[in-house]
A and B are shown apart, each in its own frame.
Chain A
Amino acid sequence: MDSTTSWGLYTVFVGGLGTLAIFSFLIKENPFYRFFEHLFIGIAAGLGPMLVVRDFLWPNIIEPMLGRTITVYPDGTTSAPYQPLYLLYLVPMLFGCLYYFIYSRRYSWLAKVVIGFTLGASGALAIRGFFGEVIPQITGSFKPLVVMDQGSFMLAESLNNILFVVTLLLVLNYFFFTFGREGSLQGKAAPLGRPLLMVCFGAFFGSTVMARLALLVERVQFIVIDWFAATKTLLGLG
């Protein structure tokens, strides 16, 4: 944020005030906190739809339909002929309007038509995405258990690969509930997956700590450095 202009100073000041309001929740819930919480939700709700219109619907759908992407040159020729096929965009737009039948008791099933259509598209893309993402994961799991490099045996790499494959199999086995658990080798091996999962969850917790604390550091830095400086300037102390 640019705090060299008066607008910038007020922007930083209000930002700091809002931050303190949110932090006041740590003491107890209060009207100051609730006011800024509601303001935040309102602004977020106002911003989202406008960005979809500004960044997608207008330039990608409406402008081509209206022929506004075509440039008329000084000699009267044009950059491209008008494509009437763009008018077909009206079909998905009207189809998308079926969402609003959700407010009608009688015709709410029409909203389900368009929701179904969207879910269908997401489902088909998810099937395709599965193969794009998971196949390299599967092939990457077939690690050589004996690693040789230029004829010499690599002990550390081999042990790592063995540990990797064993952990993978044991944790997969732990989550395998479909059939034949009790008494079988698979059932007996299942508890071995738990401690390995705990190691994973520990790493997850350690990482989560850094994520959460980073957010706190950024806010404290903003208050201690930027907000104090802006407030001092606004009060004529700086």
Chain B
Amino acid sequence: MKGRRLIYLAMIVAVSVPVLLGFSLPPSRLVSAERMYSVVDEMQVNPGEVAFVWLDFGPGTLAENEPQAQVLLEHLFRRRIPVVLLSQYQQAEAALQRIPKEVAESLEREMPGQRWAYGEAWVNAGFRPGGQIFIQALVNAPDLSKFLGRDVGGMPIAHYPNFSTIGGVEHVKLVGEITGLVGVLDNIIQFFQKGGYRPTLVHGCTSITIPEAYIFVDSGQLKGLLEGIAGAAWYSEVLKQHHPLSDNSRLLVVNTALSSAHVVLIGLIVLGNIVALWGRRSRRPNG
């Protein structure tokens, strides 16, 4: 019991030190995040076309999914691609409201005189229950602005000029799914398709689902992947290379704390094996 508490303490100290010192190391280069950056950066978007970004996460996976949502939205906002935000998960409400607002404010601070206003840069269509049933109805709707109806504030989405003429699902140029939940990415992969239309789908996943997400990258169903905090950190680094004023310092500190915790955990695994080996040797009868 005492030993277990020592392990807990070691982990908390390992995480706290970089956070307290504000110390950061460059993130690991993740190719999948780089590919996703290229997909978003090279996407051709005409007037009337939009990106749909699903934020399907609550407090349980906020730690990993929030930085992913931030970097993806920052990139889309920089490119002035109108974003429709929505969720299949009721606990995502706070994220839907707070994250785009914070990203817009950060960009406005970086570029005084420019604005990323609600209704122009993004709309929040809120929590939409029904999962598969909702998505299959959405892709079959002839006019997405009308189908989505009102935003969370009760305003008709069609009322905002950038979102008034979306039309059918063919005008959704990018679909982003940021989630740590089981099944919600499957809902998009299975049902967000109509006739010959397949979306350019990018995915921000929690680390626990990385191995599973790779099978969709291999099959081409996913065009880009952000792998946990590490993926978001590398994406933010690529953003910074292209936009030097982009501020990713807090994310890099988090990523460094994560590295520090990894090192302690690897050390614990090695120690555990040494102790076990030592125990086996000492139990072995002499001669």
Closest to A121 in B: B133
Q: CB distance A224 to B265 under 8 Å?
A: no
The answer to whether residues A224 and B207 also contact, given A55-B127, A210-B262 and a CB cut-off of 8 A, is no
Within 8 Å by CB of A218, from B126, B254, B265, lies: B254
Task: Classify the interface of chain A: helix, strand, loop or mixed.
Answer: helix
B1-43 interface with A by 8 A CB criterion: 5, 8, 11-12, 15-16, 19-20
Interchain CA distance A208-B229 in the complex, whole Å: 12
Given known pairs A136-B219, A210-B229, the reply for A221 and B90 (CB within 8 Å) is: no
- Report if A47 contacts B (CB, 8 A): yes
B211 on interface, CB distance cutoff 8 Å: yes
Known: A203-B211, A217-B254. A129 touches B186 (CB 8 A): yes
Contact with A along B229-253 (1 / 0, CB 8 A): 1100000000000000000000001
Instruction: Check if A211 is an interface residue, CB within 8 A of chain B.
Output: yes
When distances are taken between beta carbons in the complex, the residues of chain A under 8 Å from B16 are 220, 224
How many whole Å from B61's CB to the nearest CB in chain A?
8
Q: Which of B63, B129, B262 has the most CB of A within 10 A?
A: B63
Report yes or no: A56 in contact with B130, Cβ–Cβ below 8 A.
Answer: yes
Given contacts A217-B19, A217-B261, contact A137 B64 (CB under 8 A): no
Contact-residue bracket for chain B: 35 or more
Q: Give the nearest-CB partner of B189 in chain A.
A: A133
Q: Contact between A136 and B228 (Cβ–Cβ < 8 Å)?
A: no
Q: Which residues of B contact A130 (CB under 8 A)?
A: 190
Name B203-239 residues within 8 Å CB distance of A: 206-211, 215-216, 218-221, 227-230
Give the docked Cα–Cα distance between A47 and B89 (Å): 12
A185 at the interface (CB under 8 A from B): no
Number of interface residues of A (CB under 8 A): 43
Q: Evaluate contact between B129 and A55: CB separation under 8 angstroms.
A: yes
Query: Contact between A132 and B129 (Cβ–Cβ < 8 Å)?
Result: no
- The A-contacting residues of B in range 151-183, CB under 8 angstroms, are 152, 154, 180
- Pair A216/B11 contact, Cβ less than 8 Å: yes
Chain A 48-88 against B: per-residue CB contact (8 Å), 1 yes, 0 no? Answer: 10011001100110000000000000000000000000000
B257 touches A (CB below 8 Å): yes
For residue B20, which residue of chain A has the nearest CB? A224
B149 interface hit (Cβ, 8 Å): yes
Q: Nearest chain A CB to B13's CB is how many angstroms away?
A: 10
A residues near B93, Cβ cutoff 8 Å: 51
Is B265 in contact with A140, judged by CB distance below 8 angstroms?
no
Shortest C-beta distance, A28 to chain B (Å), equals 9
User: A132–B219 contact, CB under 8 A?
Assistant: no
B211–A200 CB distance below 8 A: yes
Q: Which of A44, A133, A215, A225 contacts B190 (CB 8 A)?
A: A133
Contact A207 B207 (CB under 8 A): yes
Chain B contacts for A218, CB-based, 8 A: 62-63, 254
With a CB–CB cut-off of 8 A, which chain A residues contact B211?
200, 203-204, 207
Q: Are the C-beta atoms of A210 and B129 separated by less than 8 Å?
A: no
Interface pair A220/B15, CB less than 8 Å apart: yes
Does B258 sit within 8 A of A, measured CB to CB?
A: yes
26 A-B residue pairings within 8 Å (CB atoms): A47-B91, A51-B90, A121-B133, A129-B186, A133-B186, A137-B215, A204-B211, A207-B209, A209-B262, A211-B61, A213-B11, A213-B15, A214-B206, A214-B207, A215-B61, A215-B64, A216-B12, A218-B62, A220-B12, A220-B15, A220-B257, A221-B19, A221-B253, A221-B257, A224-B19, A224-B20
